[in-house]
Structure 1
Amino acid sequence: MGAVGLLYVGAVLFINGMMLLKMVEPRAAAILNLFVGALQVITPTVLIITNPGNPAQILGASGIYLFGFTYLYVGINLLGGFDSTGVGYFSLFVAVMALGYSYANFRLLGDPAFGVIWLYWAYLWFLFFVLLGLKHEQITRYTGWVTAIQGWITAAIPAFMVLTGYWQNTNLIALVLAVFGLVVFIGLWPLTRGSKPAAAAPSSSDEALGGTHRPRWT
């Protein structure tokens, strides 16, 4: 069941990345955030209730709430037009906790591939904190691309591999993911961060995620 939810985490991350890149209208993205957020609250609740004597299963399920609450928070923000600061600082909490879940996957659950994936998520949610909490809109395009790429690399593809039985040799997968992340996300930085405010453009990342502060971008 956890892999099923992860598949749709990939979908919502991809859509949110496209929203930050101004390819998807924010209120349209809100609906999927609410759907996936609800799924990611229901799924871990069922897993915990049905596995009360399995600490490893409960540990894995507990991390899913971080995603569920994020997407519900974002969806409500988008529809209500609220300031994004709350989502930003909640993202800082998620980023810190993701480091803990990364450690747990490496040392307790024996899945180094998901250990690396949790590091990906820690980085992504830290970017959300910088963008939405600290209002550094110059990283909007970078964050959009990282979000969209992570939707596939950390969620949709791994979930499909788990569901089809191809999630094997997690040491090799972890190595591939680590190299891919370093190369791609470092390479994206100089290509995307250079966008500067332009007086003519009407939208912004903050507006896109439900904020009220409206900087202008090219």
Structure 2
Amino acid sequence: MGNVGLLLVGVVLFVNGLASLGIVSGRSAAPLNLFVGTAQVVLPTLVLLQAEGDAAIINATWPSFLFGFTYLWFGLINLAGFEPQGFGWFSLFVAGIAAYQAVISAPGDPVFAVIWLTWAIMWTLFFVLLALGVQRVGRLDLGRATGWFLVLLGVPTCTVSAIFLLNGTWTTAPEAGLLALAGLAGAAVLSTLLALPRAGTRGEAGSSNAVPAEAVLAVD
């Protein structure tokens, strides 16, 4: 996806993470999603119209549509009240593509391979929450874990990466890939810990800490 679009995606993931945590409402997050989603669809279309069949340009551009449709769909769900199950199944498709991109990126760019893996995990969580309706895994509130995962990793994987790419300071060193993987693992652990019931709370599905599945829509 384009680096400028990637720059904006970080803030969308952050705000959508806050929405899934109940800090901001889905309706208040909708305009940002519609704006960035539209940009992620219109701008790649303009690029493809001028690509003249160049395979490198096409392969670098088409993934933007997956994420653009995600944000547009999220905005419409929150504004029009559409049921979220279809979005959940679409997320499974996006997760599969992201996982494939992670595999093929690993030899040449291990850092971006980890970023693709992060996005694959995010969209898998959306699928589990919204298509399968799984809200809790044992004591873990999956909606809150997803929210924290977006808050912790949205800006680093998107906005920070875009800044490095735009300034020509991106690295493909294996050591950087290992550091990125360690960051992903650390964020996953922290998200899990933050989503576990705190002392003095019931931690049940009916608790005031639970986040509705409809709020957990987001992402790259």
Query: If the length of structure 1 is used for normalisation, what is the TM-score?
Result: 0.87
Matches within 5 A, 1:67-146: 67-107=67-107, 110-138=108-136, 139-146=142-149
Contact 1:77–1:209 (8 Å) recurs in 2: no
* Counterpart residue type for residue 98 of structure 1: A
Which residue of the partner structure matches residue 213 of structure 1? none
Matches within 5 A, 1:1-218: 2-107=2-107, 110-138=108-136, 139-194=142-197, 195-198=203-206, 201=208, 204-208=211-215
Cα RMSD over matched residues? 2.0
Shift of 1:153: 1.8
How many pairs were matched up? 207
* Deviations, residues 139-194 of structure 1 (Å, cap 9, x unaligned): 01100011112211210100111112221244333221111111220343243144
Q: Distance in 1 between matches of 2:57 and 2:26?
A: 35
Greater relative contact order (Cα < 8 A, sep 6+): 2
Gaps of 5+ in 1: 211-218
Structure that is richer in helix per residue:
1
Contact 1:37–1:69 (8 Å) recurs in 2: yes
Identity of aligned residues (%): 40
* Deviations, residues 20-45 of structure 1 (Å, cap 9, x unaligned): 01111110101111111101111221
Query: If the length of structure 2 is used for normalisation, what is the TM-score?
Result: 0.86
Contact 1:19–1:29 (8 Å) recurs in 2: yes
SS at match of 2:106: helix
Gaps of 5+ in 2: 137-141, 198-202
Contact 2:110–2:177 (8 Å) recurs in 1: yes
Shift of 1:209: 5.2
